[in-house]
Amino acid sequence: MKTAVITGATSGIGFETASLLARKGFRVLGIGHSEENCLKAQERILSENPDAKIAYFWGDLMQQREVLCLSRDVAAYLSENCDGELNVLINNAGCVRSWYATTDEGYEQQFALNHLAGFYLTHGLLPFLKKTKGRIIITGSKSHKGIKVRWGDVMLSRGYNPLIAYKQSKLCNVLFAKGINDRYAAEGVRAYVVDPGLVNTDIGNKKTGTLVKLIWALRKLQGVPPTVPAKTYAFLCEQEKAPEGLCYYLCRETTYSKQVTSENASRLFALSERLCGICYGREAAV
Ligand SMILES: NC(=O)c1ccc[n+]([C@@H]2O[C@H](COP(=O)([O-])OP(=O)(O)OC[C@H]3O[C@@H](n4cnc5c(N)ncnc54)[C@H](OP(=O)(O)O)[C@@H]3O)[C@@H](O)[C@H]2O)c1
């Protein structure tokens, strides 16, 4: 049985992907923010599919100390129940914000959750992925195009614009996937980015201001249900031979920003390693 870990698996795209992968016979380890939402999601999946192999872990992925705890708990589970093997890691948890806000550790929240959390979690689970020549899938967005990383002020603390911060975090998703492929494709580990399109979820209604809530309430009505992008994750998980592309939309390769170069990917890797206090190449032994 193949195992998939998926973050943000309590609602929207992550929940539907967890549910679909469980129906397709994957053992699914979902990660969510709160115990309450994780138990509700688990119950919902099991009520629709009593044979689902599903377990949930919870914690605040914005806080690096909690990412570390989660990654240790998932690692222990994989060692005890899955022969230390992980086939797929889906870094999907994400948020939008209306104003500048930082985590307890001082990182801008969209950058912390949308990019750094996945970067840190992947580091902890990489040894398990290497054992299966596994796949890493990151939820990106078409909105990553048309901007550059602000290397001198990556948290955008000066002249904060929440939309730019979101777009930059999504550019970081593609750069991170590119960086993984540059480093680990030779060992069989591949990374992909899924552009889910516009999806009818509640992302814009969580911890945002009145104006964003209002705009999102109207905009999301144009979106597809989260069951639509879930199929693209399943496609990337199920292909026997690892697909060659980097970004996918509706199960097909799609274009990405010209900013996605090996040079920028390397620069982001180095910056993110410093911000997380970790070093890829020095992963924990399984
Ligand atoms: N919706 C779209 O149109 C769209 C378009 C492009 C890209 N995306 C991307 O898709 C991904 C999923 O978003 P969605 O639209 O499905 O929204 P969503 O329904 O709000 O899902 C976000 C998930 O992340 C979890 N989460 C939020 N903050 C967290 C934290 N601090 N620690 C741990 N987990 C946390 C949420 O938990 P709770 O259930 O407890 O809130 C939820 O499970 C995001 O990366 C987003 O940027 C969405």
Residue 284 has pLDDT above 70, yes or no: no
Per-residue model confidence as pLDDT tens digits over 130-173 = 999 999 999 999 999 999 999 999 999 999 999 999 999 999 99
CA distances from 262 to 177, 223, 279 (A): 10, 33, 18
Buried b (16+ CB within 10 A) or exposed e, 56-67: bbbbbbbbbebb
pLDDT of residue 282: 79
* 20 CA distance to ligand 1 middle (Å): 17
> Ligand 1, atom 40: nearest CA belongs to which residue?
33
Residue 147 maps to a domain: yes
Residue 285 maps to a domain: no
Buried b (16+ CB within 10 A) or exposed e, 203-215: bbeeebeeebeee
> Ligand 1, atom 33: nearest CA belongs to which residue?
33
Residue 281 maps to a domain: no
Residue 284 maps to a domain: no
| Domain containing residue 178 | 3-276
* 37 CA distance to ligand 1 middle (Å): 13
Residue 100's CATH number: 3.40.50.720
Residue 230 maps to a domain: yes
Residue 286 maps to a domain: no
Residue 281: band (very low, low, confident or very high) from pLDDT cuts 50, 70, 90: confident
Residue 283 maps to a domain: no
Residue 3 has pLDDT above 70, yes or no: yes
30 lines ligand 1 (CB under 6 A): no
179 lines ligand 1 (CB under 6 A): no
Amino acid at 263: E
Average pLDDT over residues 175-201: 98
37 lines ligand 1 (CB under 6 A): yes
Residue 115: band (very low, low, confident or very high) from pLDDT cuts 50, 70, 90: very high
> How far, in Å, CA of 109 to CA of 123, rounded?
20
- Of the candidates 208, 223, 209, the one whose C-alpha atom is nearest the C-alpha of residue 142 is 223
Question: What residues act catalytically?
Answer: 166
Residue 286 has pLDDT above 90, yes or no: no
pLDDT of residue 285: 64
Residue 245 maps to a domain: yes
150 lines ligand 1 (CB under 6 A): no
Please count the structural domains in the chain.
Answer: 1
Average pLDDT over residues 247-273: 98
